[in-house]
Amino acid sequence: MDISGYINIAAIILAPVISVVIGQKLQDRSKKRQDKMEIFKALMTSRVYGWTNASVYALNIIDVVFADDKRVRMQWKAYYDKLCVSNPTEEDLRKIETEKCKLLEVMAESLGYKNKITWETIQNPYIPKGLSLSIEQQQQYQNGQLEIIEMLKSMFLMKSGGSGDGQAENGNP
């Protein structure tokens, strides 16, 4: 058998193996991009609705999914540091919002949306007036329920003469 015969046999054997390896690499790359997009979409959506389970989940897996992107992870750290302020002032809240927008901007760049998803786009989510009104009414309703519960609780404590901690005074039942 001459050299061209060996080359043909090698090509017949190696072509499917190389094809599978390349296909697997492309699938892995596609899955990583899809995971990054899910995080980005959850955080973009949370600009409208505020904190959701999906947005908190997304924040908690940034370090894993964006492990290969130092800029995203550094911006996530900067945002996280701002989030960890106890009793934030109005200035702290503005800084938190700015860091969140910066995180979204860095993620957009990482996903290849540089100059397509702009700072202005990130800072100006679409919120229909009806949705905004509905969210506000829901918050007022919840606050009203809390007020009623507190009033009932104080009335119950006044009638029973108890301390409200479920324990009788001086340890007597």
- 57-90, pLDDT tens digit by residue? 999 999 999 999 999 999 999 999 999 999 999 9
pLDDT at 109: 94
Average pLDDT of every residue of the chain: 87
pLDDT at 63: 96
pLDDT at 172: 52
Residue 167 has pLDDT above 80, yes or no: no
Average of pLDDT values for 10-31? 88
Report angle CA 52, 56, 57 to the nearest 5 degrees.
110
In 10 A of CB 155, how many CB atoms?
10
More confident residue, 69 or 163: 69
pLDDT at 8: 86
- How much is the pTM? 0.68
Rounded CA separation 132/43 (Å): 18
**Which stretches within the chain are classed as H helix?**
3-49, 53-60, 62-65, 70-83, 90-110, 119-123, 129-160
**Cα R_g (the chain), whole angstroms:** 28
Instruction: Please answer whether residues 78 and 104 qualify as being in contact, where contact means their C-beta atoms are separated by less than 8 angstroms.
Output: no
Residue 154 has pLDDT above 80, yes or no: yes
pLDDT digits (tens, 9 = 90+) for 83-137: 999 999 999 999 999 999 999 999 999 999 988 888 888 888 877 788 778 878 8
Top-ranked range on mean pLDDT: pick from 4-8, 27-31, 33-37: 33-37
